[in-house]
Structure 1
């Protein structure tokens, strides 16, 4: 982005003109020449989810999480790292905008089965194909939750979708909003709820500050890393790794803090560089 472009940027849109599309497609293993079609949207979503992991490690490493496009590209595309929802969804929105899709940001409340109202701390996307009727349903794209879905979900009230054995469904919540459910070993869990009110980059930036800096944010208390694949969902919560498979089977392993850099590389495709492995281990040992 040039100085003039920065001056002209009023905060609308997702800066698709500034995304490094060839580098992004190389990172997720897709070829160029993708038209803005449903097939492309599904392929991009699946490739993104299975290629770029979810993680909050910058907080443990003592650095703020920057959700500006340049910082996100440097971290999620140019390095073997991942990020959380505001990084993932902002990057994915820029890519989709560059390819010609219609993209609207949304904000979700992560419930995970809870009934008490929770804050809007999850960035997601409402995506539509270009030049389609206004009343035609679009898709929910959620590449930044860490636990799927593998592909976008059509806004179809109550429809259950099976993706490589993983179950999801969208349902209207009765208040002009929607609920996303995910099937886990215990049954259907209401994962998050969201209104169809448009959110912008500045909203992602403001809420991102709460997520990485507020002492009540759960992300400030421990490493939380995920890798979602067709055959397995890996989760690192603190020093515990849980692997869940589509058939409902679950494996759990506990690790010493000193082992986590190697676990991140082997199980989550995340390589910490420089003195970051020692900083992460030190942070964990100081709190163990």
Structure 2
């Protein structure tokens, strides 16, 4: 994999040292540069979980992807740079339904100086801008919210986010068992084909900005800037395609 091209894609200047500061910058720059998006699914283009296919899509074609693609390729970059990293399986939580199956979500664990960090650039709104230290029952926060990792059972961890009402809401459950990328194939196929999957219901393309976030769906473009939300209705596929180009620099399929 061409790590230099990947670093250029996310706007990282120089070559990262193997330290927490570099990991934090890589994580943040990735969120600013590469959107979480499911447009290939709606265009009928299969997602291929191979390093070459992911690099071609995300770096060369300058598109985004879903968690398997984003965290899957980020793993390869971190490994290439010399970080100690592993893929882990997450089970996201849906209110009123419960936890989704194993391999529903792909996240990363990076170890620096014998300290583990949860790394996730493929979740959208429900993860902070920087990696979370894997320390149980400690509240960690940034301007996106407050987060906590608990350990409900031996070997199992829970990521939660505090709501505006002050309650802790489950995000996903995960273990530290290392996984091969191929272990996620079945659930990746499910999320591309099942009517029950969030990703098959509506188009979505969302990206962190320095002032907030920008999200494009079938129905609207929402821009959050310094706490204020601005919304524009999407009135046709042509309007969607134009907004995709204007705000995300992506051509429609």
TM-score normalised by the chain length of structure 1 = 0.78
Which one of 144, 147, 152 corresponds to residue 131 of structure 2?
A: 152
| Number of residue pairs aligned between Structure 1 and Structure 2 | 249
Q: Which residue does 2:170 correspond to in 1?
A: 190
Q: Is the 8 A contact 1:181 1:192 kept in 2?
A: yes
How far apart, in 2, do the equivalents of 1:253 and 1:185 lie? 25
Distance in 2 between the 1:93 and 1:74 partners? 15
Q: Point out the more displaced range, 255-264 or 228-237.
A: 228-237
CA–CA distance in 1 between the matches of 2:14 and 2:2? Answer: 12
Residue in structure 1 matching 2:196, options 199, 207, 216: 216
Matched, 1:99 2:81: yes
Match status 1:126 vs 2:109? yes
More strand by share: 2
Kindly report structure 1 stretches of 4+ aligned residues shifted beyond 6 Å.
Answer: none
Taking only aligned residues, the RMSD between alpha carbons, in angstroms, comes to 2.2
**Structure 1 unaligned blocks of 5 or more:** 1-18, 277-288
User: Is the 2:218–2:240 Cα contact (8 Å) retained in structure 1?
Assistant: no
Question: 124, 135, 140: which one pairs with 2:118?
Answer: 140
**Residues 1:262 and 2:245 aligned together:** no
Say if 2:206 and 2:216, in contact at 8 Å, map to a contact too: yes
Alignment of 1:44-83 (within 5 A): 44-83=26-65
C-alpha distance in structure 1 between counterparts of 2:22 and 2:152, whole Å:
29
| Alignment correspondent of 1:286 | none
Contact 1:112 1:189 in 2 (8 A): no
Larger Rg: 1
Normalising by structure 2, we get a TM-score of 0.88
Deviation string 1:166-207 (CA, Å, 9 cap, x unpaired) is: 332222223531222234545543221212222211112332
Provide the secondary structure at the position in 1 that maps to 2:48.
coil
